[in-house]
Structure 1
Amino acid sequence: MTTVDDPVAAAERCTPEFRRNPHPVYASLRDTAPVCPMRPPHGIDTYLITRYADARAALADPRLSKDMYGAMDAYRRIFGDSSVALDDHMLNSDPPKHTRLRKFVSSTFTPRRVASLRPRIQDIVDTLLDNCAPREPVDLLPAFAFPLPITVISELLGVPSDEQSELQHLSTTVAQTGFSKESKQAQQKAEENLHAYFEDLLARKRSHPDEDLLSALTAARDENGGLTDQELISTAFLLMFAGHKTTAYLIGNAVHHLLTHPDQLRAVQDNPEVVGRAVEELLRYDGSVESATFRFATEDVQIAGTWIPKGSLVQVALSSANRDPLKFDSPDKFDVTRPENVQSAHLGFGHGIHYCLGAPLARLEMQLALTGLFSRFPTVALADPARETRWLEVPFPAFRGLTELPVVLKPAVP
């Protein structure tokens, strides 16, 4: 059995250098402390899992619970009391509750159902690109990467178009995982406003149902008691939050890496059929979810020779697992032509019963976004290639994404 007494990883993961390029730190941890105890800024001892095989096993290990109400003291210390009202959803639950909650929304995200959304998603892509000024510097995040998935998930849920921007603003505030007094106060206010908004929206759906997911969930609640009102609100929040933030950052990461790897971009442009494989490689190489959401040990658990005591928080470093050389050849190389079975082995969407429900939708949005952008503007380029790339700086990594993506859009020659 190995033990690690120096939680250096916690400090290293909070530096600007780490945010720019976390992979040297992860490589060191995989070699020296694959299950690393650390004390992050929230002050609660956490174990970080960095190797692929251990990460994949941990994501499906029933001893590592997702029911954060089972660790309520720790949960409240990290996120505050106000978050509880929004977090009673499938991502923070174990079977049988998880099974029941997931069942109500799973039919919306089947490959067949998602495929039927292709024409509408294509319309949204085209409209957003129509509104981008060619030959002028455009920040592609607010102009394209964020409005695409927020529009798609809002329409699925039944959120009116004139209310979408405010929801995006509130969810962004909730995602700012700062631990200062000011940050926590802003988060609490945003959580309270989101709860009130979804409570009102569900009341509107009950009075005037439409052909959308929230109307269907509300009807199911009223007809057979499928979900409580609290579970409805939390489910709506989860779908809205997870349905746009991760995909938005993923689009930004993807465009950035294709523009900085012109040989890979040419491979995609020369053969549009490669775009699906490119999306999988981008999910592996630099996905938008750096670490899986918290789990906690319901009993003493041994992983890679390290004992994780009962009650400890556990975090799986997906970005590290997806660069593990024991799983992927030349893992630090961005290669859209990797064999499909190798690409699909990534953990970008997680693994096990909590595998991302919206994965088919995210894949389709990514494919249409990249195809649309690079066919409409085939010579798109970074506005200032010499400018340092700016990544999200958060005190405890969860999302991996850019803060801006200024580009010059050059339309195709007729």
Structure 2
Amino acid sequence: MAAQPTVVDLLELSPDFVRDPYPVYARLREQGPVHHVWTPDRGDMWLIVGHEACRTAFADPRLSRDWRRSGNISQIINTGQDQPGLAHMLMADPPDHTRLRRLVAREFTTRRIEGLAPRIQQIADELLDAMEQNEHRTADLVDAFAFPLPMTVICELLGVPELDRAAFRAWSSEMVARTSPEAEAAAYEEMPRYLGELIGAKRAAPGDDLLSALIHAVDDGGDRLSPEELVGMSLLLLIAGHETTVNMIGNGMRALFAHPDQLADLRADLGLLDGAIEEMLRYDGPVETCTERLALEDVEMGGVVIPANSAVLIAMADADRDPARFADPDRFDIRRDARGHIAFGHGLHHCLGAPLARMEGRIALRSLLERFPRLAAGADEAELAWLPGMLIRGVRQLPVRW
């Protein structure tokens, strides 16, 4: 009979867990791939670590994302089962997931994404122009650049009006790194309500944006997104479309600041940029663990049984620091072959927007390093405030000087 581990409090293993979870994950990985843990913000969870185990878990149909149909959504989010904002492909299993992803992929095309490059460059240049006006030659890189760049891009792509973007920042922040259960619940009420009204306006007067295209998208069999699914999919695209890129830029620059030799090498040869982006994603990616999976039945992995109806986290951050997959994994090396990392997930839920995030990252980092050749950290790492929780990994502010 498989063993049942005791519950491990992650903060007891390290009070510094939120800032630096990697030593805790490594210690757990040495003991096995599956652990029953108490998390800093969500309480009781089951955690999977190690590259091979994480990839296996992503592909295991017994670990479901269909909480609305098969589980109790309040285990992971402070909202109800019938919340329209959850009617999206990240909250679905096949065949529903297959159908939803197919409908969105018809419009979220490579051609549409590649066509955004000139506009992304223009936005980046305008933000850097504004930074350059600061007579003190200092800024918060998150607020001045890393956040507004992808937020502007995804809002323009979907057709969200300019004046509404500040509200989106607040709602999105609560959904990925809540400050309280009450604030999270309010965000899940307000954002879907706003999106429903926006969809109604675009249905009456379509534009050339992605949301208008999704409203009218019909596949070869006549299938289309329902009103509830339009709300859910637009919410997912807005949040996933900027949170990952914000923190990819922030975490990537922190890694470069902490490794001045690597920063110097990249400045000297921006031809290393594509590989550097992949190493940034591997070394300290923007998504620490997956969105919670639901065990549909008792699931045995690595000699441990995860009980049915448990919430399960897959530690992508640990998978990408596993020495069984990456030699000397705690070393940041922009020349490393980092292919095989799972920073954007793995399997059927692999991030649909990964090409957009990579393109934004390349444009952002190249523009930043070219414009500010003396860019440096403006605060010690220990002074930075981290986002709470185990989903999105990043800092609230990143002071810089040049």
Q: TM-score, normalised by structure 1?
A: 0.91
The answer (yes or no) to whether the contact 1:380–1:408 under 8 Å persists in 2 is: yes
Separation of aligned partners in 2, 1:107 and 1:9 = 44
Any conservation in 2 of the 1:391–1:400 contact (CA below 8 Å)?
no
Paired position in structure 2 for 1:245: 243
Which consecutive residues of structure 1, in runs of 5 or more, have no partner in the other structure? 410-414
Q: Deviations over 1:321-354 (max 9, x none)?
A: 1100111000000001012xxx120010000000
1:307 corresponding residue in structure 2: 305
CA distance in 2, matches of 1:58, 1:408: 42
Equivalent residue, structure 2, for 1:289 = 287
Question: Secondary structure, in 3 states, of the residue corresponding to 2:392?
Answer: coil
Name the residue aligned to 2:392: 399
Distance 1:47 1:109 in 2: 34
The answer as to whether partners of 1:9 and 1:36 remain within 8 angstroms in 2 is: no
User: Following the alignment from structure 1 to structure 2, what is the Cα–Cα distance between the partners of residues 5 and 307?
Assistant: 9
| Counterpart in the other structure of 1:324 | 322
CA positional deviation for 1:171: 1.4
Question: What residue number does 1:7 align with?
Answer: 7
Shift of 1:392: 1.9
Offset, 1:196: 1.3
Give the secondary structure class of the aligned counterpart of 2:76.
helix
Q: Does 2:148 correspond to 1:153?
A: no
CA shift for structure 1 position 391: 4.2
Shift of 1:16: 4.9
Shift of 1:299: 2.5
Partner in structure 1 of residue 215 of structure 2: 218
Give the superposition deviation at 1:23: 1.0
Evaluate the alpha carbon distance shift between residue 312 and residue 77 of structure 1 in structure 2; reply closer, same or farther with a 3 A threshold.
Answer: closer
| 8 Å Cα contact 2:10-2:24 kept in structure 1 | no
Contact 1:82 1:192 in 2 (8 A): no
**Structure 2: segments with no counterpart, 5+ residues:** none
Deviation at 1:264, TM superposition (A): 0.9
Residue 392 of structure 1 aligns to which amino acid in structure 2? W
1:364 to 346, 355, 359: 359
Residues 1:348 and 2:343 are matched in the alignment: yes
> One-letter code of the match for 1:3?
A
Alpha-carbon RMSD across the aligned residues, in angstroms, is 2.1
CA 1:41–1:128 in 2, change beyond 3 Å: closer, same or farther? closer
1:228 maps to which of 226, 231, 248: 226
How far apart are 1:206 and its partner, in Å?
0.6
TM-score by length of 2: 0.93
The Cα of 1:3 is off from its aligned counterpart by 2.8
Deviation at 1:393, TM superposition (A): 4.6
Q: Which residue of 1 aligns with 2:190?
A: 193
Shift of 1:285: 0.2
Give identity over the alignment, percent: 42
1:172 aligns with 2:173: yes
2:86 match: 87
Q: Please, which of 382, 386, 391 is the counterpart of residue 388 of structure 1?
A: 382
Alignment size in residue pairs? 398
Q: Which residue number in structure 1 is paired with residue 259 of structure 2?
A: 261
Q: Give 2:204's aligned residue.
A: 207
In structure 1, C-alpha distance between the alignment counterparts of 2:185 and 2:22, rounded to whole Å: 32
Cα–Cα, structure 1 residues 55 and 387, in superposed 2: closer, same or farther, change >3 Å? closer
